[in-house]
Chains A and B, each alone.
Chain A
């Protein structure tokens, strides 16, 4: 407990806090005496109980936002709370679509810097040192703020374990903001859910990812089939996302999701630094690639040098035959 107060932007999906939110709240509780959360959405005040379980003593309810993209109003609500009272020592945002927007808006509004892609925080006196993986996770760079509070950190998923604390009572205070004019001009017209069967990519115990080494787009089906046989989720390298084989939401890596499954199978992925940073923390890694010099073989536990488009069908057959 070295800091006085940390704020966390709490995000919700399917009527509960996201896993990343719980991770941030748990981390905040270990570093600060007091943790407060900001949240938006219809009826988020109802979730003060679960936030209390994770150590939140005050919830700032920004309101439903009525179709606005949340970034501008979340930043404005935080800036307003700072001007009325005082800045917290640190503010934690998740590396999510909305978390990054809100952190960026707040940083520019307050003219304070932001440290992103944080994978670990270490308290040193009254300072938080942030660790960030560079060069594909080969090196860890530690940095800290030298300017005054608030320190804005954008933290990658799975950097901290989500752990409930003793239940605390969580007070709810309204934090709606007035009209922001042009910056708040972007409105959500409709939301679409892309159905994906099986577990979510960033929560699956097994992830099977495909890359360029598959040779052609239709062979991505092999990745999906293998993932489904192993009760896992299919993922992808940036190369095949860039090439349009699969949507961006499948991407594992620096610009994409961080996964830490029990088992990660890289199919036809060479292991560019871009990719490695998103999957290197997996417990067990299997690689199938025809280039035996591919960097992926330096991090895998079990590797086969060969043509992925031939090996995967044989593997699928062998698993089915069991």
Chain B
């Protein structure tokens, strides 16, 4: 069982994000980290490979400036190798460009299953995974809250508005996992040390045969403007004390909810 996991390396979410004033693209120049949303997919892949009794997990990522720190985090968790696509031509890529690049990168390796998060934490477009599936001609099951492989068939509990559906799919397939699907392991010290020597292949757009087809110049959409949203009026903030509940109850009464 070989599994590709798409991982995004994003600006540190604890640091306030900013936009490039000229391009209005998200500034991604600083240190990048593995998107927390992707740790669930990496963990899921490691468990499925374990359960299958063999195979390996490959991390596939697209990032500027040959960034690999997030990939190393996934390798430290136990993935075997990484494929990074990094190219200045990719600046300002939209979701479809990103999907074309990741699909082409996935094609360079052997896989039975592709796992991704439902969406990234920073851009949260949420369409890239299924765009990848369509480009690779794969069936897809999005919003998985439980994933198993039984006798070579993918079995998923897929979130729905009302509850969940049990869905099956032949392999190869693509599945997007929701947060909480498994508990991601913390990399061990040994894992962190061995991650440093695991192979990461770096590819350019030309290596994937996608020159002139991807990146901001080919995204077919542009930012018109950015403005501050209407701020909410600051309200009443009180410290907890004898009177706090009385005041809160009074507020709820005024809203007629009680």
Q: Which residues of A contact B (CB under 8 A)?
A: 13, 18, 69, 71-72, 75, 95-97, 100-101, 103-105, 107-109, 111-117, 129, 133-135, 137-147, 154, 181-194, 205-206, 229-232, 238, 241-244, 247-249, 254-255, 262-263, 274, 280, 284-286, 292, 297-307, 310-311, 314-315, 318-319, 322
We find that the number of chain B residues with CB closer than 8 angstroms to chain A is 82
- Complex contact A315–B245 (CB within 8 A): yes
Do residues B140 and A129 form an inter-chain contact, with CB atoms below 8 A? Answer: no
Q: Digit string of B167-178 for contact with A (CB within 8 Å is 1, else 0)?
A: 111100100001
Q: Mark B103-142, 1 if CB is under 8 A from A, else 0.
A: 0000000000000001101001111111111110111111
Known contacts A116-B125, A146-B222; decide if A100 and B130 are in contact (CB<8 Å): yes
**A146 and B220: CB pair below 8 A?**
yes
Tell me the smallest distance from the CB of A285 to a CB of chain B, in Å: 8
**Would A141 and B130 count as touching, CB distance under 8 A?**
no
Interface pairs (10), CB distance under 8 Å: A69-B141, A71-B142, A97-B161, A105-B130, A116-B124, A144-B222, A183-B140, A191-B165, A306-B239, A314-B245
CB pair B119–A255 under 8 Å, yes or no, is yes
Say yes or no: is B163 at the interface (Cβ < 8 Å to chain A).
yes
**Cβ of B226 under 8 Å from chain A:** yes
From known contacts A142-B223, A206-B257, A318-B249, infer whether A306 and B96 are also in contact, taking CB-CB under 8 Å. no
CB-CB under 8 A from B219, the residues of chain A are 113
Q: How far is the CA of A322 from the CA of B246 in the complex (A)?
A: 11
Residues from chain B with a CB closer than 8 A to the CB of A114 are 94-96, 125, 127
- Chain A residues contacting B139 (CB-CB under 8 Å) are 69, 72, 182-186
Q: Which residue of B lies closest to A148 (CB)?
A: B220
Interface of A is mostly: mixed
The answer for the CA separation of A258 and B225 in the assembled complex, in Å, is 24
Kindly list chain B residues whose C-beta atoms are within 8 Å of the C-beta of A191: 160, 162-166
Task: Check B190 for interface membership: any CB of A closer than 8 A.
Answer: no
A189 contact set on B, CB distance < 8 A: 165-168
Q: B194 at the A/B interface (Cβ < 8 Å)? A: no
Complex Cα distance, B209 from A110, in Å, reads 19
Judged by a CB distance under 8 angstroms, whether B206 is at the interface is no
* Given A108-B96, A244-B180: A143 and B227 interface contact (C-beta under 8 Å): no
User: Which residue, of A114, A184, A231, has the highest number of chain B Cβ atoms within 10 A?
Assistant: A114
* B169/A185 in contact, CB under 8 A: yes
Q: Please judge, given known A-B contacts A13-B162, A104-B127, A139-B227, whether A311 and B240 are in contact too, CB under 8 Å.
A: yes
Contact A255 B130 (CB under 8 A): no
Number of residue pairs A-B, CB distance < 8 angstroms: 274
Given contacts A248-B179, A310-B240, contact A194 B168 (CB under 8 A): no
Interface residue B186 (Cβ < 8 Å from any Cβ of A) = no
Query: Are A108 and B134 interface neighbours, CB within 8 A?
Result: yes
Residue B235 lies at the interface, judged by CB distance under 8 Å to chain A: yes
- Please pick, from A105, A145, A232, A297, the residue contacting B221 in the complex, using a CB distance under 8 A: A145
Tell me the nearest residue of chain A to B246, going by C-beta.
Answer: A318
Which of these, B94, B140, B180, contacts A241 with CB under 8 Å? Answer: B180
| Complex CA distance for A297 and B127, rounded to whole angstroms | 33
A301 touches B126 (CB 8 A): no
Q: Do B170 and A143 touch across chains, with their CB atoms under 8 A apart? A: no
Q: Does B204 contact A (CB under 8 A)?
A: no
Interface presence of B17 (CB below 8 A):
yes
Complex: chain A residue closest to B161, CB-CB: A13
Asked whether A306 lies within 8 Å of B244 as measured between CB atoms, the reply is: yes
Q: Are B244 and A304 in contact (CB under 8 A)?
A: yes
User: Which chain A positions have C-beta within 8 A of B248?
Assistant: 286, 302, 304, 315
Tell me which of B36, B233, B249 has the highest count of chain A C-beta atoms within 10 A of its own C-beta: B249
**Residues of chain A with a CB closer than 8 A to B29's CB:** none
Q: How far is the CA of A147 from the CA of B140 in the complex (A)?
A: 27
CB of A101 within 8 A of CB of B142, answer yes
A107 touches B221 (CB 8 A): no
